[in-house]
Amino acid sequence: MHTVKACLIAAALSAAAGAVSAQQKPEEAIKYRQSALFILGQNFAPLAAMAQGKMPYDKDAAASHAAIVEYMSRLPWDRFGPGTERGGNTKAKPEIWSNLDDFNAKRDKMQSEVGKLAQVAKTGDFNALRTQVGETGKACKACHDDYRNK
């Protein structure tokens, strides 16, 4: 049921994407990107827990969570537009906008690792999943370390 709810939220977020992003108020863009990243994190957490042995490994759940993470990883990036560096309850550091090429490179690396994660999760190979969760986590952390306030 949790997966269904996440998919419905993802679909709603996706439906609101596109042309709307150019017309959104900065506060709405911030809320959108935070929502997408929240759902991504909520689905990555069980994968990390499985990889760390804090939660029993479940192949089907892992594949489902990884698919949602992959999908959600595509959504927030166009909402880091001009005017969204302040306002709302953003944790985004201003360095995003002054180092946009590096920020985008870190985004691309994360999305690449997330794509690998989704593929590995489908195989049912727990050791491969554990390794890829680690690589995906490193890619996420690299961006958080440089561009997210705690």
- Please state the pTM of the whole predicted model: 0.84
Q: Please report the pLDDT score of residue 6 as a whole number.
A: 53
- The confidence score (pLDDT) of residue 24 equals 84
Q: With 70 as the cut, is the pLDDT of residue 148 above it?
A: yes
Q: Minimal CA–CA distance to 14: which of 36, 30, 38, 43?
A: 36
Q: What is the pLDDT of residue 23?
A: 75
Helix intervals (H) in the chain: 2-15, 19-23, 26-51, 59-72, 95-98, 100-123, 126-147
Distances (CA, A) of 55 to 6, 105, 127: 20, 32, 15
Question: What top-level class would CATH report for the domain 2-147?
Answer: mainly alpha
Confidence of residue 63 (pLDDT cuts 50, 70, 90): very high
27-61 residue pLDDT tens = 999 999 999 999 999 999 999 999 999 999 999 99
Domains of the chain: which residue ranges?
Answer: 2-147
As a whole number of angstroms, the distance between CA 7 and CA 20 comes to 20
